[in-house]
Structure 1
């Protein structure tokens, strides 16, 4: 992870690094809000993620059931 961060900072500079961290943090927050409100997974996303959701038993989680 440290090597990836260093490479990113060299490529985009400190300001770009801060922007990238902000985007990642914002996505994390928005994703958590969507999960907490019970917004259902879109059918297309459900279809393409069915295999790994099954392997991880995600559909059995209370959060997944809404």
Structure 2
């Protein structure tokens, strides 16, 4: 796990449960609340809040941190698309809800490997 290795390098310890489950009051991840708010604003597609939080991140953590944070978020957003593009089978629940769209686009007729 990359964050664990990073923590060993910096001497910081992280409560990984807080990023995978409920928020821990004792979270030691620097700027946790700012980063979490930024991710939430992006997920909610709130351009005003995203803009405000970008400025806060840049001010508190620096421009390079903002670039790095944005790159990580973009990469995680792309991973499912890459998996889909490589032909990883569609989950049953997604098959049901996408049936009409797939029929209209004739996606199921595409050649797979």
> TM-score with structure 2 length normalisation?
0.38
Give the helix-richer structure, 1 or 2. Answer: 1
Q: Deviations along 1:12-62, whole A, 9 cap, x unmatched? A: 2243865355323332144314532x3100111100111111111111122
Question: Structure 1 unaligned runs (5+)?
Answer: none
CA RMSD of aligned residues (A): 3.1
Residue in 2 that maps onto 1:49: 98
Work out the CA distance in 1 between the residues paired with 2:51 and 2:94: 32
Kindly indicate whether structure 1 or structure 2 has the higher relative contact order, using CA contacts under 8 Å at least 6 residues apart. 1
Work out the CA distance in 2 between the residues paired with 1:20 and 1:31: 17
May I ask how many residue pairs the two structures share in their alignment? 59
Query: Alignment partner of 1:50: what SS?
Result: helix
Question: Structure 2 unaligned runs (5+)?
Answer: 1-44, 59-65
Which one of the candidate residues 51, 65, 69 is aligned to 1:9?
51
> TM-score with structure 1 length normalisation?
0.57
